[in-house]
Amino acid sequence: MLSRLKKSSIVSLIKKGLRVDGRKLNEYREITIIPNYIAKAEGSAYAKIGGTLVIAGLKVGIGTPYPDTPNCGVITVNAEFVPFASPTFEPGPPDENAIELARVIDRSIRELKVIDLEKLAIIPGEKVYILWLDIYVFDHDGNLLDTSMLAAITTLLTARIPKAVIKEDGKTVELNKEVSEPLPITNKVVTVSVGKVNGKFIVDPNIDEEQVLDCRLAISISEDGRIAGMQKMGSGTFALNEVIEAVKIAKEASKTLFDKINEAIRSIRK
């Protein structure tokens, strides 16, 4: 917990348009993205914003589709906060914060149709690709959601899945791991977390700044500027004009994130 004096100092600086670490109010900390970080996974990525470190990995299998989407593949997003990442994280099953983080990422991917799930049907109505996207937080220094989304989307963009082979009986399906292909990606999405402090807005709050926020709005945005969703966190409120302002800030800040993603992808395609 922050002392009252430190909290007061952080708030006072933000009121003046300044931050303790020298950033502008709408500026991200240093961002690092490393695709294909885990050799054994079909896709993976390391993402770091400031001191917050997240690693995502993709596992692929074959299964049956959901009854309401019989001609679509399935993606499941899970998040886990590793206990040593923060004194506030406890061992055991994912807590409500990890579940919320996974749901926001899952919803953003689905809303923007980042993956064309219809192309992941192998035998429509019977056999489809199943994607498990697992997100692990290894160090928590604030803004877990934006960092986790960077790791998740970079994993999907650079993943290669084994080719499905239908056997002669027309029902048995196997994965040929000697032949792989990219996921049918149609879009990119990032999340920009905009915090509110005494009427001022900041992007990418670090762990100390998170403790002085009145509330926070996590805004999921596509590369072409469409809003995929918003998630408010904290007990404070956003007036309509403040939501409009936060979206404007988030759209501008998202350019930095997309630039970093595209730079990381180019680095492995050279």
Q: 110: domain CATH number?
A: 3.30.230.70
Q: What letter does residue 64 receive in the DSSP assignment? A: P
Cα gap 149→54, rounded to integer Å: 9
pLDDT tens per residue, the chain (270 residues)?
Answer: 678 889 999 999 999 999 999 999 999 999 999 999 999 999 999 999 999 999 999 999 999 999 999 999 999 999 999 988 887 788 888 888 899 999 999 999 999 999 999 999 999 999 999 999 999 999 999 999 999 999 999 999 999 999 999 987 877 889 998 999 999 999 999 999 999 999 999 999 999 999 999 999 999 999 999 999 999 998 899 999 999 999 999 999 999 999 999 999 998 865
Q: Which domain holds residue 80?
A: 4-269
* Cα(262)–Cα(100) distance, integer angstroms: 27
What is the value of pTM for the model shown? 0.94
Look at the chain and report how many structural domains it folds into: 1
Q: Describe the chain by its helix, strand, coil percentages, rounded to 5.
A: 30, 35, 35
Q: Is 94 left (phi over 0), alpha (psi -120 to 50) or beta?
A: beta
Contact 79, 145 (CB under 8 A): no
The number of residues in the chain equals 270
The owner of tokens 């904290």 is 234
